[in-house]
Amino acid sequence: MKARLLAALPVVLLAAAAAADADRVAIPTPSLPLEARMRLDAHTDHGCSQSHESVRETLSAVLAVDASGAASLAVDREVTIISGPSFGRFQQGDRDFTTIRERERHHFRGRGRRAGRVLELDLDQDETGQDRYSGRGDRPPLATQAAAASLRLTCRVAPTDVWPAGRLAFPGDGERASSASLLHCRFVPEEVPDAFGLLAEASPELVLGRNEGVVLHFNRAFGSEQTLLRLP
């Protein structure tokens, strides 16, 4: 009996630690002032008999609304695209690879308004910039310019399963999810804008938490997809 209790102790301790971490990112209510964040870590692979392409994308989103209702949503996205021969052609000696890197930044601004348990965001200004380049080496600073925007979101707090920190887009052996109240922000109309990249394929909404926020992992390879929300 004692041996069984000792064997179960690490699992209990891990579950308690995961629950504490989930509490750290939880948002009980959408009260103001508010700051919440999330990160998307996405990886896709596809190919055919002649070629293969691997895409790695990271996106960070930070939402801030002060007590007066002034709101901002900062979005930074980086993409690395590696194209090359299929595995069969690689085995035959083909080493013709190309690497393209993209960066895109948006800093939306506008107003936020509480309506009961809902936070409504109307963002009509943007500070935006993007570039695309190939090869390696240091990147120059990303130049941005002011632009008009039309971005509306409706945000609600909802209980959400969050998995322990990790790199996989599926649960690992022995992992258990914890429940945390997180901020779910849906776009109005319900279509994810291009500025949010692969989020459009991973999720129809932003899911954000306090402090370090949460990480949405998305993996698609050769007809199979996995999506999992993890602690940072």
Q: What is the pLDDT of residues 64-74, one digit of tens each?
A: 999 999 999 99
51-55, 158-162, 185-189, 192-196, range with the lowest pLDDT: 51-55
Picking from 83, 63, 81, the residue whose alpha carbon sits closest to that of residue 73 is 63
Q: Looking at residue 185, what is its pLDDT? A: 98
Q: Looking at residue 10, what is its pLDDT? A: 44
3 state DSSP class of 42: strand
What does the buried/exposed string (b/e) look like for 30-41 if buried means 16 or more CB atoms within 10 Å of the residue's CB?
Answer: bebebebbbbbb
More confident residue, 45 or 6: 45
User: Domain limits of the chain?
Assistant: 2-230
Half-sphere exposure of 18 (CA within 13 A, CB side): 20
CA dist 194 and 144 (Å) reads 17
3 state DSSP class of 190: coil
Beta 214-221 vs 34-47: how paired, if at all?
parallel
pTM listed for this prediction: 0.85
